[in-house]
Structure 1
Amino acid sequence: MMTEKQNAYIKSLMSKKEWAVTADLEFYANTYYTQVDKATASAIIEYLLSCDDKTAETVSDSKIINWFLMVDKKKKGKKMGEIADDAWKNKIFYNKQNINTVFTAKKEIMTDFYNKYNK
């Protein structure tokens, strides 16, 4: 039998990763997490570790920049106005002329902000 630690770790990875069904994973999922031996559990863990993270974003920089410009243009709309206000509160100051410079300096913050509103 797999260990309690392996079981908990697999459950955690399955909720955090994008995975494709394999025979081991199907067997694991259909046995209610109890009938898998330690070696199979280890193989499942190795497989899930190699899968993409569900939170990973592959959005291009230009898409994020264009989204910020769109938010700025639509300040009169309620949702966009709230987003623009939130951006200002988070000290993300930009305009059409300096957006690329600001994005280069604050890429991580702006990407997180984009992800917050586009999930």
Structure 2
Amino acid sequence: MMAKAARAAAAWRTYREVTKPGSPGLMARVRAVPRMVGAVMRGQYSGLGKGKLALLGIGVVYILSPIDVLPDFLMVIGVADDFGVFLWLLGTLLGESGRYVEHERSIIQGNLEGA
């Protein structure tokens, strides 16, 4: 029961962050993910560490993998762990990519002011 409430709260926080006026929208965040990953790997963006990026990658592999900590044949329990990882992954990626879009905007703004 507590896990459901935590997942619902995380989903609500993500929704509020994405819909906040002035913040990057959902599609801007989604399109920024590949750029963010590339920038982190090239050492051009320090807002997201390589360790956290690796955890996000592990989350993707876990969701896609047929091997689970809690097997899916346990029905509700087996699917719930995948869903929990999915919500964490989605919330984290949207939050981090939003910060990355803001980082890009600040660089562009700085370049415009310096020109």
The verdict on a shared fold, with TM-score over 0.5 as the criterion, is: no
* TM-score normalised by length of structure 1: 0.31
* TM-score normalised by length of structure 2: 0.32
| Richer in helix (by share) | 2
Structure number, greater radius of gyration: 1
